[in-house]
């Protein structure tokens, strides 16, 4: 049932967590809760990647062109709520920390049950490490060795049982 609702409504991954934050914090401002899980471009991109999956039978965008096309057609108000300027989408694909375009793993298969796959990768980082964005809304700074392992790791790009 949850899978059907997510697919039908195209809920942003951040909105789900935002709802939990609002409910647990006692705050009644959903915009603040949504903003709190979409503070950086890597968070926004990972959440929008999840949104793409939820609207496309849990398939990730096949390439940058399709992902950007999806974002250009996405609800401008929803983009604004997560801190994305709908008229400047190319800025979303650049890390605020290193000023470089993100490396994105396209075509990753997700699941209504969740996925921990790394999909957004900072290109250069800040000299201490590079940020990696995962589909489970985790973003973390990793060292060079872990970064290389995560980037080269095989992730599913085909539907798995129970994903529909």
One DSSP character per residue, 4-15 reads HHHHHHT--HHH
Strands, sheet with 118-121, edge to edge from the N-terminal-most edge strand = 103-104, 118-121, 130-134, 139-142
List, for residues 53-108, the tens digit of each pLDDT value.
Answer: 999 999 999 999 999 999 999 999 999 999 999 999 999 999 999 999 999 999 99
Question: Is a pLDDT exceeding 80 seen at residue 119?
Answer: yes
CA separation for the pair 106, 123 (Å, rounded):
15
Kindly report the three-state secondary structure assignment for every residue of 78-124: HHHHCCCCCCCHHHHCECCCCCCECEECCCCECCCCCCCCEEEECCC
Query: Which residue did the predictor score with more confidence, 117 or 112?
Result: 117
List, for residues 8-65, the tens digit of each pLDDT value.
Answer: 334 444 444 444 444 454 556 787 888 788 999 999 999 999 999 999 999 999 999 9
24: tokens are 């647990």
Model confidence band, residue 161 (pLDDT cutoffs 50, 70, 90): very low
């Amino acid at each position: 049932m949850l899978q059907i609702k997510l697919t039908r409504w195209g809920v942003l991954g951040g909105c789900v967590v935002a709802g939990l934050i609002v409910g647990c914090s006692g705050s009644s401002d959903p915009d603040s809760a949504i903003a709190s899980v979409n503070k950086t471009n890597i968070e926004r991109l990972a959440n929008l990647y999840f949104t793409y999956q939820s609207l496309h039978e849990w398939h990730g965008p096949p390439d940058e062109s399709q992902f950007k096309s999806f974002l250009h057609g996405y609800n401008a108000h929803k983009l604004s709520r997560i801190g994305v300027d709908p008229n400047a989408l190319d800025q979303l694909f650049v890390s605020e920390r290193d000023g470089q375009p993100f490396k994105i793993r396209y075509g990753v298969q997700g699941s209504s049950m969740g996925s921990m796959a790394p999909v957004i990768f900072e290109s250069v980082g800040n000299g201490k490490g590079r940020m990696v964005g995962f589909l489970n809304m985790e973003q973390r700074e990793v060292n060079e060795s872990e970064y290389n392992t995560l980037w080269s790791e095989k992730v599913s790009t085909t539907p798995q049982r129970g994903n529909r």
